Amino acid sequence: MTTGTSGDVLLRATDVVKHFPVRSGSIFRRAVGAVHAVDGVSLEVRQGETLGLVGETGCGKSTLARCITRLYDLTSGTVEFDGADISKLGASAMRPYRREMQMIFQDPYGSLNPRRRVGSIIGDPFAIHGIASGQDRRRRVQEAMELVGLNPEHYNRFPAEFSGGQRQRIGIARALALRPKLVICDEPVSALDVSIQAQVINLLSDLQKELNLTYIFIAHDLSVVRHVSDRVAVMYLGKVAEIGPSEDIYQKGRHPYTQALLSAVPVPDPRKMEGRARIVLAGDVPSPLNPPTGCRFHPRCPKARDTCVSEDPPLIPRLGDPPIHAAACHFPVEVGEDISLSTPQISESERVIEGGLIGNA
């Protein structure tokens, strides 16, 4: 098995920054600061692969996705799609690219207009891009419905007549109707029960194979991400902390945050769970309004030292890892090292301390 890096680069993000200005309450509404939602992200996605995107809530996953698809203008940086720089294109110049990049969202309830028939919802991309009409459009919509396992005869039904899993299929059918190249799945199965989740994950992987799709897969559930991804990027406070082939990230994560995040996942296998060392991080993610200096993870990191407070570690291969596996950490984790035994070597004022739950538990 390859790690999905054999294909051509379909998408390249370089130093993508997205700041949201925060304005004062006064009538002049001066910008008083900015939420650093995405703060310098560079990554590549290759044709046919699945790149998983993980990280705690608010770390910038959805914002990055919206920058890539240009639903947001970038504050700075560039996005290249299929070799063309699309970062500064206006709405009409973006149009042909919009067809090629589609999104699937988390909420199968909220993202579908309840008063519209399913056939017309799935037909949206055709309408937007002025492709196919009348019977022709209907036929193509029904094809899309069949593709995702919906009964084409349900063309005239309303979303409320479908279950959660079926509604997610409607979202998938809509996203795939125009046969895009890149599909960004933002928490596509989070709102579904496990038994239904498995149906939708299988569907997504069948479709990927059938249509040669490229996925960016955002999810909270790290075992789902591991299951579907060739490579995984771990984000923390608007930056990529670590990126690499899925199994490398899960088995020899170099970044302490990667390790902490993965060790926090409860495994549905009690025997496996027992001997496991868990790294319980102190506190919550700091505010993206005012990210910590140096390495952003230093206030919560069990391995932090003074260098971490002053210097931002670059995202590069560490400890002799291959170029495809990079981590942004000055003191990367060695294979076999148990960081739950580490104690931060920085002054207390630089740390988050919460009820004794620092570093280990």
Partner 1 sequence: MALLEVEDLRVSFATPDGQLDAVRGLSFTVESGKTLGIVGESGSGKSVSTQAIMGLVRGARISGSALFDGNDLLTMDSEALRKIRGAEIGMIFQDPLSSLHPYYRVGWQIIEMIRAHDSSIAKDTARTRAVELLRLVGIPQAENRVDDFPHQFSGGMRQRAMIAMAMALNPKLLIADEPTTALDVTVQAQVLEVMKRLQEEFGTAIIMITHDLGVIAEVADDVVVMYAGAVMEEGARDTIFYDAHHPYAEGLLLSLPGYGTRERLVPIAGQPPSLISLPEGCPFRPRCPYAFDRCTETPPLLDVGDKDDHGSACWLPADRKARAGMRHQPATKRPVAKRAAKK
Q: Which residue, 24 or 212, has its beta carbon nearer to partner 1?
A: 212
Subset of residues 259 to 288 that bind ligand ATP, contact rule: CB under 6 A: 288
Q: Which of 45, 118, 222, 301 binds partner 1 (CB under 8 A)?
A: 222
346 touches partner 1 (CB under 8 A) = no
Element containing residue 298 per DSSP (H, E): none
Answer yes or no whether residue 110 interacts with partner 1 by CB under 8 A: no
DSSP string, 78-107: EEEETTEE-TT--HHHHHHHHHHEEEE-S-
What is the distance between the terminal CA atoms of the chain, rounded to a whole angstrom? Answer: 38
Residue 61 is a binding residue for ligand SF4 (CB under 6 A):
no
Report the residue number, 37 or 339, with the smaller CB distance to ligand SF4.
339
The binder of ligand ATP chosen from 3, 50, 62, 69 (CB under 6 A) = 62
Q: Choose, by CB under 8 A, the member of 113, 151, 156, 223 that binds partner 1.
A: 223
Contact present, 276 and 316 (Cβ < 8 Å):
no
Question: Nearest distance from residue 297's CB to ligand SF4, in Å?
Answer: 4
Closest CA to 352 of 308, 298, 278: 298
From the list ligand SF4, Mg ion, partner 1, none, partner contacted by residue 62 (C-beta under 5 to 8 A by kind): Mg ion
The smaller minimum CB distance to Mg ion, of residues 62 and 259, is found at 62
Contact between 331 and ligand SF4 per CB under 6 A: yes
User: How far apart are the C-alpha atoms of 324 and 316, rounded to whole Å?
Assistant: 9
Window 268-307: residues binding partner 1 (CB under 8 A): 268-273, 278, 280-281, 283-284
Give the strand pairing for 239-245 and 76-81.
Answer: unpaired
Angle at 191 between CA 129 and CA 68, to 5 degrees: 40
State the DSSP H helix or E strand holding residue 232, giving kind and residue range, or none if neither. Answer: strand 231-236
Binding to partner 1 by residue 198, rule CB under 8 A? Answer: yes
| Residue 211 contacts partner 1 per CB under 8 A | no
- The answer to whether residue 349 forms part of the interface with partner 1 (CB under 8 A) is no
Choosing among partner 1, Mg ion, ligand ATP, none, which partner's interface includes residue 338 (Cβ < 5 to 8 Å by kind)? none
* Distance, CA of 51 to CA of 320 (rounded, Å): 23
Interface with ligand SF4 (CB under 6 A), residue from 67, 304, 352, 358: 304
Q: Which residues pair with 46 in a beta bridge?
A: 9
Q: If binding is defined by CB under 8 A, does position 84 make contact with partner 1? A: no
Q: Specify the stretch interacting with ligand SF4 by CB under 6 A; choose among 74-82, 175-183, 212-220, 325-333.
A: 325-333
302, 359 Cβ separation under 8 angstroms: yes
Cβ atoms of 264 and 276 closer than 8 Å:
no
What ranges in 212-264 are assigned the alpha helix state H? 222-228, 246-252, 256-263
> Is 191 one of the binding residues for ligand ATP (CB under 6 A)?
no
Please give the Cα distance from 301 to 282 (Å, whole number).
9
| Site of interaction with ligand SF4 (CB under 6 A) | 255-256, 295, 297-298, 301, 303-304, 308, 313, 329-331
| Site of interaction with Mg ion (CB under 5 A) | 62
